[in-house]
Protein backbone atom coordinates (compact mmCIF):
# COMPACT_ATOMS: atom_id res chain seq x y z
CA UNK A 1 0.00 0.00 0.00
CA UNK A 2 1.43 3.34 -1.09
CA UNK A 3 0.68 6.75 0.50
CA UNK A 4 -1.38 7.69 -2.57
CA UNK A 5 -3.65 4.67 -1.98
CA UNK A 6 -4.75 6.47 1.18
CA UNK A 7 -5.83 9.61 -0.66
CA UNK A 8 -9.38 10.33 -1.77
CA UNK A 9 -10.12 11.96 -5.11
CA UNK A 10 -10.87 15.30 -3.48
CA UNK A 11 -8.30 18.00 -4.23
CA UNK A 12 -7.26 20.02 -1.17
CA UNK A 13 -8.55 23.59 -1.17
CA UNK A 14 -5.67 24.84 0.99
CA UNK A 15 -3.65 27.84 -0.20
CA UNK A 16 -0.54 27.07 -2.24
CA UNK A 17 2.31 26.71 0.23
CA UNK A 18 0.11 25.84 3.24
CA UNK A 19 1.83 23.63 5.82
CA UNK A 20 -1.21 21.37 5.92
CA UNK A 21 -0.17 19.79 2.59
CA UNK A 22 2.96 18.51 4.30
CA UNK A 23 0.93 17.06 7.16
CA UNK A 24 -1.39 15.25 4.74
CA UNK A 25 1.63 13.79 2.98
CA UNK A 26 3.45 12.87 6.21
CA UNK A 27 0.36 11.23 7.66
CA UNK A 28 -0.39 9.12 4.57
CA UNK A 29 3.29 8.12 4.43
CA UNK A 30 3.24 7.06 8.08
CA UNK A 31 -0.01 5.13 7.64
CA UNK A 32 1.35 3.38 4.58
CA UNK A 33 4.59 2.51 6.45
CA UNK A 34 2.45 0.98 9.19
CA UNK A 35 0.24 -0.77 6.60
CA UNK A 36 -2.94 0.62 8.05
CA UNK A 37 -5.63 0.02 5.43
CA UNK A 38 -8.50 2.50 4.93
CA UNK A 39 -11.05 0.09 6.44
CA UNK A 40 -8.98 -0.04 9.64
CA UNK A 41 -8.63 3.70 9.95
CA UNK A 42 -10.71 6.61 11.23
CA UNK A 43 -9.67 10.26 10.85
CA UNK A 44 -11.66 12.76 12.88
CA UNK A 45 -11.43 16.56 12.96
CA UNK A 46 -13.16 19.68 14.19
CA UNK A 47 -13.52 22.80 12.03
CA UNK A 48 -10.80 24.90 10.42
CA UNK A 49 -8.57 24.83 7.34
CA UNK A 50 -6.53 22.05 8.97
CA UNK A 51 -9.71 20.21 9.94
CA UNK A 52 -10.47 19.66 6.26
CA UNK A 53 -7.76 17.00 6.20
CA UNK A 54 -10.04 13.97 6.85
CA UNK A 55 -11.77 14.63 3.52
CA UNK A 56 -8.51 13.92 1.74
CA UNK A 57 -7.71 10.62 3.48
CA UNK A 58 -9.34 7.35 2.52
CA UNK A 59 -10.73 6.21 5.87
CA UNK A 60 -13.83 6.41 7.99
CA UNK A 61 -13.60 10.15 8.25
CA UNK A 62 -15.64 12.71 10.07
CA UNK A 63 -15.24 16.50 9.85
CA UNK A 64 -17.21 17.20 13.03
CA UNK A 65 -17.95 20.49 14.80
CA UNK A 66 -15.61 23.14 16.09
CA UNK A 67 -13.60 21.96 19.09
CA UNK A 68 -15.39 18.63 19.49
CA UNK A 69 -13.15 16.24 17.61
CA UNK A 70 -11.66 14.67 20.74
CA UNK A 71 -14.90 13.63 22.48
CA UNK A 72 -16.30 12.29 19.21
CA UNK A 73 -13.10 10.35 18.52
CA UNK A 74 -13.06 9.06 22.13
CA UNK A 75 -16.57 7.67 21.64
CA UNK A 76 -15.64 6.12 18.34
CA UNK A 77 -12.46 4.48 19.66
CA UNK A 78 -14.30 3.13 22.69
CA UNK A 79 -17.00 1.56 20.51
CA UNK A 80 -14.65 0.41 17.71
CA UNK A 81 -11.27 -0.24 19.36
CA UNK A 82 -10.00 -2.08 16.29
CA UNK A 83 -9.89 1.17 14.28
CA UNK A 84 -6.67 3.17 14.34
CA UNK A 85 -8.08 6.58 15.20
CA UNK A 86 -6.28 9.78 14.29
CA UNK A 87 -7.62 13.16 15.36
CA UNK A 88 -6.48 16.24 13.46
CA UNK A 89 -7.14 19.95 13.77
CA UNK A 90 -5.83 23.42 14.33
CA UNK A 91 -4.60 25.49 17.24
CA UNK A 92 -7.90 27.37 17.44
CA UNK A 93 -9.95 24.21 17.33
CA UNK A 94 -7.84 22.40 19.90
CA UNK A 95 -6.66 25.15 22.25
CA UNK A 96 -9.55 27.65 22.20
CA UNK A 97 -13.04 26.19 21.98
CA UNK A 98 -11.84 22.59 22.29
CA UNK A 99 -9.35 23.03 25.11
CA UNK A 100 -11.65 21.73 27.84
CA UNK A 101 -11.66 18.29 26.22
CA UNK A 102 -7.91 17.91 25.96
CA UNK A 103 -6.92 17.06 29.57
CA UNK A 104 -9.83 14.65 29.83
CA UNK A 105 -8.87 12.79 26.67
CA UNK A 106 -5.34 12.64 28.07
CA UNK A 107 -6.31 11.40 31.54
CA UNK A 108 -8.54 8.70 30.01
CA UNK A 109 -5.53 7.67 27.93
CA UNK A 110 -7.68 6.37 25.12
CA UNK A 111 -5.53 5.12 22.26
CA UNK A 112 -5.90 8.12 19.95
CA UNK A 113 -3.27 10.10 18.04
CA UNK A 114 -3.97 13.83 18.14
CA UNK A 115 -2.14 15.90 15.51
CA UNK A 116 -2.41 19.67 15.87
CA UNK A 117 -1.42 21.79 12.87
CA UNK A 118 -0.38 24.93 14.73
CA UNK A 119 -0.17 27.94 12.41
CA UNK A 120 -0.61 30.38 15.30
CA UNK A 121 -3.82 31.77 13.84
CA UNK A 122 -7.47 31.11 13.01
CA UNK A 123 -6.91 30.49 9.30
CA UNK A 124 -10.37 29.57 8.11
CA UNK A 125 -12.06 32.60 9.61
CA UNK A 126 -9.42 34.91 8.11
CA UNK A 127 -6.64 35.58 10.52
CA UNK A 128 -7.84 36.24 14.04
CA UNK A 129 -5.39 35.61 16.87
CA UNK A 130 -5.41 32.13 18.37
CA UNK A 131 -4.12 30.95 21.78
CA UNK A 132 -0.72 30.30 20.20
CA UNK A 133 -0.40 33.66 18.42
CA UNK A 134 2.80 35.12 19.75
CA UNK A 135 3.08 38.37 21.64
CA UNK A 136 3.46 41.36 19.29
CA UNK A 137 3.49 39.04 16.31
CA UNK A 138 3.24 40.53 12.86
CA UNK A 139 0.17 38.95 11.38
CA UNK A 140 -0.52 40.22 7.90
CA UNK A 141 -4.22 40.77 8.37
CA UNK A 142 -4.58 40.42 12.12
CA UNK A 143 -8.05 41.13 13.41
CA UNK A 144 -9.43 41.11 16.93
CA UNK A 145 -7.46 39.94 19.94
CA UNK A 146 -3.85 38.84 19.99
CA UNK A 147 -0.91 40.40 21.69
CA UNK A 148 -1.61 38.41 24.81
CA UNK A 149 0.70 35.80 26.29
CA UNK A 150 0.36 32.66 24.17
CA UNK A 151 -0.08 29.28 25.79
CA UNK A 152 2.48 26.54 25.41
CA UNK A 153 0.61 23.51 24.05
CA UNK A 154 3.39 21.03 24.65
CA UNK A 155 3.88 22.10 28.26
CA UNK A 156 0.13 21.89 28.69
CA UNK A 157 -0.20 18.29 27.48
CA UNK A 158 2.87 17.22 29.47
CA UNK A 159 1.37 18.66 32.63
CA UNK A 160 -1.93 16.91 31.91
CA UNK A 161 -0.05 13.59 31.89
CA UNK A 162 0.19 12.83 28.18
CA UNK A 163 2.23 9.66 27.65
CA UNK A 164 3.59 10.45 24.18
CA UNK A 165 4.46 13.97 23.06
CA UNK A 166 6.32 14.87 19.88
CA UNK A 167 6.93 18.01 17.87
CA UNK A 168 7.79 18.38 14.22
CA UNK A 169 7.79 20.95 11.43
CA UNK A 170 5.45 20.71 8.44
CA UNK A 171 8.33 21.38 6.04
CA UNK A 172 10.45 18.48 7.26
CA UNK A 173 8.86 15.48 5.61
CA UNK A 174 11.10 12.61 6.84
CA UNK A 175 10.91 13.92 10.41
CA UNK A 176 7.15 14.35 10.32
CA UNK A 177 6.64 10.89 8.85
CA UNK A 178 8.73 9.37 11.66
CA UNK A 179 6.99 11.34 14.44
CA UNK A 180 3.56 10.36 13.15
CA UNK A 181 4.56 6.75 12.84
CA UNK A 182 5.81 6.62 16.42
CA UNK A 183 2.73 8.44 17.71
CA UNK A 184 0.33 6.06 15.97
CA UNK A 185 2.26 3.05 17.24
CA UNK A 186 2.13 4.27 20.84
CA UNK A 187 -0.61 2.35 22.66
CA UNK A 188 -2.20 5.25 24.58
CA UNK A 189 -3.09 8.89 23.88
CA UNK A 190 -0.38 10.51 21.76
CA UNK A 191 0.06 14.15 20.83
CA UNK A 192 1.97 15.57 17.86
CA UNK A 193 2.51 19.33 17.71
CA UNK A 194 3.17 20.36 14.12
CA UNK A 195 4.68 23.79 13.47
CA UNK A 196 2.84 24.81 10.33
CA UNK A 197 3.04 27.97 8.26
CA UNK A 198 0.06 30.00 7.06
CA UNK A 199 1.00 31.78 3.84
CA UNK A 200 -2.07 33.99 3.82
CA UNK A 201 -2.48 35.39 7.33
CA UNK A 202 1.03 35.02 8.69
CA UNK A 203 4.10 36.67 7.16
CA UNK A 204 5.38 34.79 4.07
CA UNK A 205 8.51 33.66 5.88
CA UNK A 206 6.63 32.49 9.00
CA UNK A 207 7.38 28.83 8.37
CA UNK A 208 11.11 29.66 8.04
CA UNK A 209 10.97 31.72 11.23
CA UNK A 210 9.57 28.70 13.05
CA UNK A 211 12.31 26.54 11.63
CA UNK A 212 15.00 29.00 12.68
CA UNK A 213 13.76 28.83 16.25
CA UNK A 214 13.69 25.03 16.19
CA UNK A 215 16.33 22.47 17.01
CA UNK A 216 16.34 18.69 16.98
CA UNK A 217 16.67 16.98 20.33
CA UNK A 218 20.08 15.33 20.51
CA UNK A 219 20.50 11.54 20.40
CA UNK A 220 21.48 11.43 24.10
CA UNK A 221 18.24 13.18 25.17
CA UNK A 222 16.32 10.87 27.54
CA UNK A 223 12.70 10.92 26.35
CA UNK A 224 11.49 8.95 29.35
CA UNK A 225 12.54 11.80 31.67
CA UNK A 226 9.50 14.01 32.28
CA UNK A 227 11.61 16.67 34.05
CA UNK A 228 13.92 16.92 31.03
CA UNK A 229 10.88 17.23 28.77
CA UNK A 230 9.46 20.10 30.79
CA UNK A 231 12.82 21.89 30.74
CA UNK A 232 13.14 21.34 26.98
CA UNK A 233 9.85 23.02 26.17
CA UNK A 234 10.26 26.09 28.33
CA UNK A 235 13.18 27.91 26.74
CA UNK A 236 11.33 29.79 23.97
CA UNK A 237 12.75 27.62 21.22
CA UNK A 238 11.02 24.67 19.59
CA UNK A 239 12.50 21.32 20.50
CA UNK A 240 11.75 18.87 17.68
CA UNK A 241 11.52 15.11 18.14
CA UNK A 242 9.94 12.79 20.68
CA UNK A 243 9.86 15.06 23.70
CA UNK A 244 8.36 12.55 26.10
CA UNK A 245 7.49 8.89 25.90
CA UNK A 246 6.19 7.11 28.96
CA UNK A 247 7.88 3.72 29.34
CA UNK A 248 5.57 1.04 27.95
CA UNK A 249 5.40 -0.95 31.24
CA UNK A 250 3.79 2.10 32.80
CA UNK A 251 1.38 2.53 29.88
CA UNK A 252 -0.02 -0.95 30.37
CA UNK A 253 -0.64 -0.16 34.03
CA UNK A 254 -2.70 2.94 33.18
CA UNK A 255 -6.43 2.39 33.24
CA UNK A 256 -7.96 2.37 29.77
CA UNK A 257 -4.59 2.77 28.09
CA UNK A 258 -4.83 -0.16 25.75
CA UNK A 259 -8.04 -0.96 24.01
CA UNK A 260 -9.09 -4.59 24.11
CA UNK A 261 -8.86 -5.48 20.43
CA UNK A 262 -11.23 -8.43 20.86
CA UNK A 263 -13.93 -6.43 22.59
CA UNK A 264 -17.37 -6.56 21.01
CA UNK A 265 -20.50 -4.96 22.40
CA UNK A 266 -22.49 -7.41 24.51
CA UNK A 267 -25.52 -8.95 22.77
CA UNK A 268 -27.83 -7.09 25.09
CA UNK A 269 -26.50 -3.81 23.72
CA UNK A 270 -26.67 -4.89 20.08
CA UNK A 271 -30.21 -6.20 20.37
CA UNK A 272 -31.45 -3.36 22.49
CA UNK A 273 -34.60 -1.74 21.12
CA UNK A 274 -33.96 1.92 20.61
CA UNK A 275 -36.70 4.25 21.77
CA UNK A 276 -38.83 5.37 18.86
CA UNK A 277 -39.52 8.85 20.19
C1 LIG B 1 -19.04 27.01 17.54
C2 LIG B 1 -18.22 27.71 16.51
N3 LIG B 1 -17.56 28.83 16.83
C4 LIG B 1 -16.81 29.45 15.92
C5 LIG B 1 -16.73 28.95 14.65
C6 LIG B 1 -15.91 29.70 13.62
N7 LIG B 1 -14.63 29.07 13.37
C8 LIG B 1 -14.48 28.16 12.38
S9 LIG B 1 -12.93 27.61 12.24
C10 LIG B 1 -12.40 28.61 13.50
C11 LIG B 1 -10.96 28.65 13.95
C12 LIG B 1 -10.05 27.87 13.09
O13 LIG B 1 -8.74 27.99 13.55
P14 LIG B 1 -7.80 26.73 13.68
O15 LIG B 1 -8.46 25.67 14.46
O16 LIG B 1 -6.48 27.21 14.18
O17 LIG B 1 -7.70 26.17 12.20
P18 LIG B 1 -6.93 26.74 10.92
O19 LIG B 1 -8.03 27.30 10.04
O20 LIG B 1 -5.97 27.78 11.36
O21 LIG B 1 -6.28 25.54 10.34
C22 LIG B 1 -13.46 29.36 14.03
C23 LIG B 1 -13.33 30.33 15.12
C24 LIG B 1 -17.40 27.75 14.35
N25 LIG B 1 -17.33 27.16 13.14
N26 LIG B 1 -18.15 27.15 15.29
MG1 LIG C 1 -4.78 27.65 13.15
For 145-190, the pLDDT digits (tens) are 567 889 999 999 999 999 999 999 999 999 999 999 999 999 999 9
Other CB atoms within a 10 A radius of the CB of residue 17 amount to 12
pLDDT above 90: residue 274? no
Give distance in angstroms: CA of 176 to centre of ligand 1. 24
Q: Tell the residue nearest (CA) to atom 11 of ligand 1.
A: 122
Q: How far apart are CA 202 and CA 239, in angstroms?
A: 21
The Cα 133–Cα 151 span in angstroms is: 9
Q: What DSSP line would sit under 219-235, residue for residue?
A: TT--TT-HHHHHHHTSS
For range 35-57, the mean pLDDT: 98
140 pLDDT tier (thresholds 50, 70, 90): low
**Cα torsion through 104, 54, 66, 85, rounded to 10:** -10
β 41-45/60-63 pair status:
parallel
> Is the pLDDT confidence value at 258 over 60?
no
Q: Residue 116: beta bridge partners?
A: 89, 193
The rounded Å distance from CA 139 to ligand 1 centre is 17
Q: How much of the chain, in percent, has pLDDT values that exceed 90?
A: 80
The whole-chain average pLDDT of the chain stands at: 91
- Is the pLDDT score of 45 beyond 90? yes
- Which CATH number goes with the domain that contains 63? 3.40.50.970
- Total structural domains within the chain: 1
Confidence of residue 257 (pLDDT cuts 50, 70, 90): very low
Q: What is the pTM of this model?
A: 0.92
**How far is the centre of ligand 2, averaged over its atoms, from the C-alpha of 142 (Å)?**
13
Going from the Cα of 116 to the center of ligand 1, the distance in angstroms, rounded, reads 13
For residue 276, being part of any structural domain is answered with: no
CA-nearest residue, atom 26 of ligand 1:
66
- Is the pLDDT score of 31 beyond 80? yes
Query: Whole domain around residue 17: which residue ranges?
Result: 3-270
| Residue bearing the CA closest to ligand 1, atom 7 | 125
Pocket of ligand 1 contains residue 241 by CB under 6 Å = no
Residue 218 pLDDT > 70? yes
Mean pLDDT of all residues in 1-28: 97
- Nearest CA among 35, 156, 22 for reference residue 88: 22
pLDDT tier, 203 (very low <50, low <70, confident <90, very high otherwise): confident
**pLDDT number for residue 118:** 98
Residue 275 lies in a domain: no
Q: What is the mean pLDDT of residues 113-130?
A: 95
Q: What is the mean pLDDT of residues 257-269?
A: 53
**Which of the two residues, 135 and 129, has the higher pLDDT score?**
129
For ligand 1, whether the C-beta of 125 sits within 6 Å is yes
Q: What's the chain's Rg over C-alpha atoms?
A: 18
Distance 97 CA to ligand 1 centre (A): 8
Residue whose Cα lies nearest atom 4 of ligand 1: it is 66
Q: What are phi and psi of 170, to 5 degrees?
A: -65, -15
Distance from Cα 267 to the centre of ligand 2, integer Å: 43
pLDDT tops 70 at residue 272? no
- Considering only CA atoms, which of 161, 185, 187, 164 is closest in space to residue 241? 164
Is pLDDT of 142 > 70? no
Beta carbons of 138 and 203 less than 8 angstroms apart: yes
Strands 41-45 and 238-245: unpaired
Best mutation site among 93, 94, 151, 201 for ligand 1 pocket (most ligand atoms within 8 Å of CB): 93
Relative to the alpha carbon of 69, which ligand is closest?
Answer: 1
pLDDT band at 276 (very low <50, low <70, confident <90, very high): low
Of all ligands present, the nearest one to the C-alpha of 64 is: 1
Amino acid sequence: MKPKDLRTELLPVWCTGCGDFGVLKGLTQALSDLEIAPEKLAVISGIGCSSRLPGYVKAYSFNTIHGRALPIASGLKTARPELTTVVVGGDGDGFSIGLGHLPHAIRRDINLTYIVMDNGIYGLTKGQASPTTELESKRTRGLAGGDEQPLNPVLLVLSAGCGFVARTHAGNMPHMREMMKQAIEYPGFSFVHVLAGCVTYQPRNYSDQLLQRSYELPAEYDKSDLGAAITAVRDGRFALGVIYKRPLEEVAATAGATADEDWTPPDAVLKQDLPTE
